[in-house]
Each structure stands twice: as C-alpha cells, then as structure tokens.
Structure 1
C-alpha cells in the first residue's frame, strides 16, 4: 500500500481547485505534526482514548488527501480501540508515530515540488 495516492490528490485538486490544495495540505501537515508531538509526549500507555480520537479523525482526513497507508492504520487502530484491545496501545502508538512521520515527509516533498 502506498503512502500517497496521487490519483486521490488529483481528484481533490479538481474538486476544490488546484490553488487550494497547498493550503489544505499545510493544514493537514500541521495536524500530523500536532499528533506526533502529543503522542510522543505520552508516557501513560493506558490512555487509549486519545489514540482512538486521533485515529477517528485521521480516517477521514487521511482518506481525503490520499494518505492510504495512514488511513488504513487509523481504521485498524480505531477498530481495535473500540473493541477494548488496550494491550496493543503501546505498539499502536509507536507504529502510528512512525507512519505519521513518514506521511509527513512524503507530503512535505510533494509541497516542495510544486
């Protein structure tokens, strides 16, 4: 699965106008940075609610920007959290931080190339 689905970004560009995509991408990147910072500072592995909230929000925003891998992970973690599988919190948090960073780098490169 790809980090970025170019076809989805192209579709978004047609829907909202190419001039608006960089603005929205910057907002998306700011959200990713905020999630990374907050998740990185958490030391209490029992706080499943924040991770669930992030993943719930990410399902939509990642899908909108074609961040397929991030969207898939957000769906997986959100489902796991809803099922009460707290034992996987630490692993999910670490995996999500890594994927957030990877996605952030990919989309920063995309903005830099425009």
Structure 2
C-alpha cells in the first residue's frame, strides 16, 4: 500500500510517524497536519490490533516499530483492554481548518474512548 511522502526522505518520514504514534499513545491525542494525521492513524490502527493479541511475539513486533518501552506498556496494558471489544476504528481524525501561518490543513488525531 502506498505511503504519503510528506516531502521527506524515507528514514526521516519513518521517524516522524514513530514519534507521532508514541505521542498519540502517551497523550491520547495529537494535533498535526491532516495528511500526517491520516497516515499515523493507519499505523496506530495496526499497532493496536497487534497489541490486542497480547502475545510476547506481538509485543516484540510493536517494540521494533515504536522503539519506546513506555508507549509499548501503555499500548499493551491499558489500550489493548480498552479496545478489546472493538474490531477496528480505534482512532478518529477531527479536521480543524487551515493553519494561520501557511494555510496547511490541521487536524487532531485522537484515540476513540
């Protein structure tokens, strides 16, 4: 599946998505541009689905993506049980309108309660 490039090289883009996903899991929501929010939502959905399995293998796979022990613990201990009955749709993108400085479309990416 194609990935948005967002004007960045591969490693920089991957680091951006990992940092946004870590912030999302730690804070429950993150404000960013709309294309970034949509792309991170795709990644977060997959990571939450893996976390719901609860196996050691799934934990290692998520850790290899996020590279942050605190986020992994939040994901497996809190969020996996919170989304236990849901089959998908763990995140929500709320459009905010254009940013004042450059007109970029802004959005809030948050976890569904």
Same topology, TM > 0.5: no
Question: If the TM-score is normalised by the length of the shorter chain, which range does it land in?
Answer: 0.3 to 0.5
Q: Quick one: higher RCO (CA 8 Å, sep 6+), 1 or 2?
A: 1
Q: TM-score, normalised by structure 2?
A: 0.35
